[in-house]
Structure 1
Amino acid sequence: MPATPLGKMRMASVEAARMPARDDAPYIEAAWLYYHDGLNQNDIAERMRISRASVVNYLNEARNRGWVRVHMDSDVFKGHRLAEELCAAYGLTEAMVVPDDPVDPVGAAASIARVTRAAADWLPRLLEPGDRLGVSWGATVYQMAQQVPNTPMSDLSVIQLLGSRPAALGFAAEACTAILAQRLGGECINFHAPLVLSNKALRDALCDEPVVRDQLDALATCNKTVLACGTCDADAHVVRSGILSPEEIAEYRAKGAVGVICGRLIDGQGRPVVSAVEERMIGVSLDQMRGKDMALLVAAGPGRALPARAAMKGGFVTHLATSTRVAEELLEMTS
Structure 2
Amino acid sequence: MGPVDSADDRRLLATVARRYYLQDASKVQIAQELGLSRFKVARLLTEARDRGVVRIEIAPQAAVDTALSEQLIEHLGLRHAAVVDVPLFSDDAQAAVHLREEIGRTAAVLLHQVLGEGDVLGLPWSRTVSAMVTALETLPRVPVVQLSGALTVTDVAATPVDVVREAARLSGGPAHHFYAPLVAADIESARMMQRQPSVAGTFAHIDDVTVAVVGIGAWLPGESTIIDLVDAPTAAALTAAGTVGEISGAFIDAEGNAVDSELAQRLITVSVDQLRAVPHVIGLVTGPSRAGVVRAAVGGGLVDSLVTDSELATALLATEPVITRS
TM-score bracket for the superposition, by shorter chain length: 0.7 to 0.9
Q: 2:186 aligns with which of 190, 195, 199?
A: 199
Q: Which residue of 1 aligns with 2:163?
A: 176
Structure 1 residue aligned with 2:311: 325
Structure 2 counterpart of 1:273: 259
Q: How far apart, in 1, do the equivalents of 2:180 and 2:101 lie?
A: 31
* 1:134-173 equivalences in 2 (<5 Å): 134-148=122-136, 150-154=137-141, 156-170=142-156, 171-173=158-160
For 2:292, give the aligned amino acid: L
Q: State the Cα deviation string for residues 56-109 of structure 1 (Å, max 9, x = none).
A: xx64xx77xxxx77769xxx948x222222222222112112223255797744
Given candidates 16, 19, 23, the residue that maps to 2:24 is: 19
| 1:94 and 2:80 are equivalent in the alignment | yes
Pair 1:216–1:103, CA change in 2 (3 A): closer
- 1:108-163 Cα offsets, whole Å, 9 max, x none, are 44333322211112211111112111112221111121111x21422x11111012
Letter in 1 for 2:250: R
Q: Could you tell me how far apart the structure 2 residues matched to 1:162 and 1:70 are?
A: 33
Q: What is residue 114 of structure 1 aligned with on the other side?
A: 102
Deviation digits for residues 244-278 of structure 1, max 9, x if unmatched? 22442244234432211121221222122223122
Larger radius of gyration: 2
The alignment-based identity, stated in percent, is 27
**1:216 aligned onto 2:203:** yes
Instruction: Say which SS state the counterpart of residue 220 (structure 1) adopts.
Output: helix
Q: Identify the residue that residue 283 of structure 1 maps to in structure 2.
A: 269
Gap change, CA 1:232 and 1:293, over 3 Å in 2: same
**Equivalent-residue separation in structure 2 for 1:321 and 1:196 (angstroms):** 26
What RMSD over aligned residues (CA atoms) do the two structures have, in Å? 3.5
Cα distance in 1 for partners of 2:69, 2:147 equals 28
Spell out, residue by residue over 1:189-240, the C-alpha distance to the aligned partner (whole angstroms, 9 max, x if none).
1123343333333433443344432222111211110011012222221144
Contact 1:193–1:282 (CA<8 Å) still a contact in 2? yes
Q: Which runs of 5+ in 2 are unaligned?
A: 1-21, 34-40, 322-326
AA aligned to 1:280 is: R
Could you tell me how far 1:180 is from its partner in structure 2? 2.2
User: Per the alignment, in what secondary structure is the counterpart of residue 304 of structure 1?
Assistant: helix
1:214 and 1:310, CA in 2 relative to 1: closer, same or farther beyond 3 A?
Answer: same
Give 5+ residue unaligned stretches, structure 1.
1-16, 34-43, 49-54
Deviation at 1:169, TM superposition (A): 4.3
Task: Assess if the C-alpha contact under 8 Å between 2:288 and 2:315 holds in 1.
Answer: no
* In 1, Cα distance between equivalents of 2:317 and 2:180: 40
Are the aligned partners of 1:231 and 1:237 in contact in 2 as well (CA < 8 Å)? no
Q: Which 10-residue stretch deviates more, 318-327 or 299-308?
A: 299-308
**In structure 1, distance between residues paired with 2:23 and 2:289:** 38
* CA distance 1:203–1:181, shift in 2 (3 Å): same
Segment drifting more, 309-318 vs 167-176:
167-176
- Aligned position for 1:37: none
Q: Cα–Cα, structure 1 residues 251 and 31, in superposed 2: closer, same or farther, change >3 Å? A: farther
Residue of 111, 114, 124 corresponding to 1:123:
111
1:115 maps to a residue whose letter is: I
Q: How many residues align?
A: 284
Which structure 2 residues correspond to residues 69-88 of structure 1 after superposition, within 5 A?
77=64, 80-88=66-74
The answer to whether the aligner puts 1:311 opposite 2:302 as a matched pair is no
Residues 71 and 276 of structure 1: CA distance in aligned 2, closer, same or farther (over 3 Å): same
Query: What is the Cα deviation at residue 166 of structure 1?
Result: 4.4
Please give the secondary structure, in 2, of the residue aligned with 1:88: helix
Task: Report the TM-score, using the length of structure 1 for normalisation.
Answer: 0.72
Q: What is the identity, as a one-letter code, of the residue corresponding to 1:261?
A: I
Q: 1:69 to 1:100 in 2, by over 3 A?
A: closer
Check whether the contact 1:304–1:326 (CA below 8 A) recurs between aligned residues. Answer: yes
- Distance change in 2, residues 1:248/1:316 (3 Å): same
Alignment check: 8 A CA contact 1:265 1:275 kept: no
